[in-house]
Amino acid sequence: MRVAIYTRVSTDEQAEDGFSLDAQLSRLRSYCLAQQYTIFKEYVERGESGRTADRTEYAKMMSECDQWDAILVIKMDRIHRNSRNFSDMMEFLSDRSKSFISMTEKWDTTSAIGRFAMDMVQRIAQLEIEQIGERVQIGMSQKAKTSDNHLGKPAPYGYRLSPSQEAGVEGKYVPITTEADVVRGIFESYLAGDRIWTIAHRLDEQQTPTKRGGRWRDKTVAYILKNRFYAGYDDWNGELRKGRHKSIVSLETYNRVQELMGKRRRNSSQAAKTIVPGVTGESGAG
């Protein structure tokens, strides 16, 4: 049997015993000698993640599949850490009557039971990864509901992130006076009848700096007008919540702008999606 030896280490694993490239190659060569396998080629992947299939040596090996009969690895996670990618590889090999062998785990797809067992192991590993992701998402959602922290979101125009007084705690959104005045002016100008492109052009003529120092564009002004953050609200994972930051415009002003934008677009149903519900009167802006 002609085998393609595949070895891989990610950066974090370079120094781990048993996972170095030299250690993998040495053991796999000895295994081939004992099994009387012929080594077609050794594909050595340095500093690459197993969670993606976009790897140079891996792609080269698969492109040369007509020259070998099986892939040999020291352990399954050396070739894939994602069950979808692993399944795609197995389908690729099956369509071409090729096999897959994991030396230390004794998985060998030359048998039906080997193929079944390997598939189950990969699915269990993927389940663990997804469960970890779910726990992180739940934790972040809870933090978003109860915390003043910004959760990694950059401060929008009109705000900055103040340093926290507590070590290890993220800062809070604080209005920048000059930028907050610009935001209020944008809302007021739109309600007074100005078009979005007119507002953007005027800000450029006045040499009003943007957040990144570029030009004012229609989409920049439109984004500000549609952003509920300026009215004291925030979106987290599709859920609208009352923010703990100081608003720049009143909630009524924000909603009036959304209604006007809807009328101008002749599509009030679209504008209704951005309106914050439950407003009965003027709210004081921060």
Q: What are the catalytic residues?
A: 10
- Whether 42 and 27 have beta carbons less than 8 Å apart is answered as no
- Whether 250 and 204 have beta carbons less than 8 Å apart is answered as no
Q: Give the up-direction half-sphere exposure of residue 130: CA atoms within 13 A in the CB hemisphere.
A: 9
Instruction: Please report where in the chains the tokens 């030009």 appear, as a residue.
Output: 215
Q: Which of these, 272, 253, 252, lies nearest to 262 by C-alpha position?
A: 272
User: Cα angle vertex 168, ends 167, 169, to 5°?
Assistant: 95
- Whether 78 and 6 have beta carbons less than 8 Å apart is answered as yes
Measured CA to CA, the distance from residue 195 to residue 264 in angstroms comes to 10
Measured CA to CA, the distance from residue 270 to residue 208 in angstroms comes to 30
Helix 196-205, helix 177-191: angle, nearest 10: 140
Distance in angstroms between the alpha carbons of the first and the last residue of the chain = 75
Look at strands 239-242 and 38-46 and give their pairing.
unpaired
User: 3-class DSSP state for residue 19?
Assistant: coil
Based on its alpha-carbon atoms, the radius of gyration of the chain, rounded to whole angstroms, reads: 29
